[in-house]
Structure 1
């Protein structure tokens, strides 16, 4: 069998009429620092792709202490985190680097171990999404001089980009209340907050926004209205089922905290008759495009994943000090779905 000769940087340089160092800078994403024009970089990348060139990442790491790998650690593969991962992957590849995406299931030990493993591969940078112990992870990265940024998770020690969860939850709660036929202080005439983890900033801030909206309308919030114990789908099914049994039916309104909780809740709601479903005003803090096909209206708060990731890259590339940027979510009322 005839052995196929691999193209090298020198082959690409000869084809485009540039120096090997210029080709190397274009392919490893450092062409801007070298003041190489975008047109030249794009031409080099295009020729490299046409001739099947691929960088030897291990050799690059040994030579430059840069592997060309950029990692994203996230809790799970729900729709929101998958959208984050897809946008991240596109942004990394556009910079001539290789994305590495890992789920850690909100396990702090798994997060620390994964970061240690990535260090062994001379990872160029790490994006943390929805982590449990942000400060510990930041210290770990700082000790190894690894650039890092947090998305959907504030960190006092590193730059962070998050959704404005408090404002978004307040707006969504008000939309739910507007859709209710009657809002009172009784257990069946009010809104319940379902799902999430109050030990995490995203849920804690959404609960604050929910409480503020409820106080503005009825002047009180019963602790029993906050059912934020888990993001788990099975737990959500059990929670809504138990609430239904306790109240003898659905409450006047439901604030469902995330698409995974929404999926778990739907398992139970699917067993109920149409009139019960339409009598309950429902909102979800996440966007599910198939929501318009449901038997009942659902208001949705869409987190802007593309802007979150793009702002995270901007903070990382400008070597930003620890700051917290907020991105406003977007309400999709049921009438617009």
Structure 2
């Protein structure tokens, strides 16, 4: 069977070949209605751009990479879906890579896997520093996801994130507003993490605003933002003396919170009656946990859109663009794990 061509797509969509080319290349001057018609024709016919031919014609392949720590983490799996959808709207194809949080791998991917084919990279780094990234950001267009320590006059790449300090402050304030006075934090990592540092800062701020004192015994160290770490940390907290044992826990990820909930269940401790639990990430897993988990929900669609469009702008720019920090919205959703009110799940 002959390969589907731009002309085939143009005939199906009722537009010119030039219009199809503009849509496939992500040129923004095409109307939304025409773009949707062309993309529908692309999917119906199964058109696949030829990266090598495209690069010969335009100097670009239309291929970008998304590099995340771990695709088994619900947050990154959901985010990857949004990135692929947004890239498709701009006529871009996404190569997805896992770094497993390894700094050397993060640095390698920041320069572009198969850099002769990639037009740009969206990277969610855990451990590589901005100073280490700075020398390579000129090699290929790069957008960073997540919370990194930075000074605005020293930004060396575009950043897309939520305000982690404010989000952590909101969650902790919610717990304090319920009358909880011994609020623990599960998420202080043994290795440096910008997310952990910022969420801990927001936690501190909210405690201070509520007139509560930070107790380091209520902040056990963990290795990773994962279920087993939340389970073990919560078990440690439950061993504390009665006057110290927490009546609420803010977990720095939903996975940590779900592990903590399991520890409470095993110990026969009522959640939220005795210990309220809240997380951050807004994963689907949080909605279906028992009890359903109070969490901060970052707008993943907005994060993906900002990241892909920011990268596309940099790829398509004739000259250098200033680096920027883009904040995506988030919302705190109170559920059964703090409010204690059973509600049927929306379907």
Q: TM-score, normalised by structure 2?
A: 0.80
Q: Is 1:225 the equivalent of 2:222?
A: no
Q: Is 1:100 the equivalent of 2:126?
A: no
TM alignment of 1:168-317, pairs within 5 A = 168-180=167-179, 183=181, 190-197=182-189, 199-230=192-223, 231-247=225-241, 250-275=245-270, 278-289=273-284, 291=286, 296=291, 298-317=293-312
Aligned to 2:136: 140
Work out the CA distance in 2 between the residues paired with 1:295 and 1:21: 54
Preserved CA contact (<8 Å) 2:250 2:277: yes
Aligned to 1:5: 2
* 1:294–1:309 CA distance, 2 compared to 1 (3 A): closer
Aligned to 2:324: 323
Look up the SS of the partner of 1:67 in the other structure. Answer: coil
* 1:134–1:240 CA distance, 2 compared to 1 (3 A): same
Look up the SS of the partner of 2:295 in the other structure. Answer: strand
In structure 1, stretches of 5+ residues that fail to align are 184-189
Count residues in correspondence.
322
Work out the CA distance in 1 between the residues paired with 2:126 and 2:23: 33
Preserved CA contact (<8 Å) 1:252 1:279: yes
Q: Is 1:25 the equivalent of 2:18?
A: no
Relative to structure 2, which stretch is displaced further, 212-221 or 245-254? 245-254
CA shift digits 1:197-219 (9 cap, x unpaired): 37222221111111111122335
Preserved CA contact (<8 Å) 2:70 2:100: yes
Q: TM-score, normalised by structure 1?
A: 0.82
Q: Is 1:79 the equivalent of 2:74?
A: yes
- How far residue 14 of structure 1 moved from its aligned partner, in angstroms, is 6.2
Aligned to 1:187: none
* 1:83–1:275 CA distance, 2 compared to 1 (3 A): closer
RMSD of aligned Cα (Å): 2.9
CA shift digits 1:89-148 (9 cap, x unpaired): 100011111111112111111112334552434211211124422523353231x2x222
Aligned to 2:318: none
CA shift digits 1:55-83 (9 cap, x unpaired): 11233234433121111111123222222
Preserved CA contact (<8 Å) 1:258 1:286: yes
Work out the CA distance in 2 between the residues paired with 1:226 and 1:323: 33
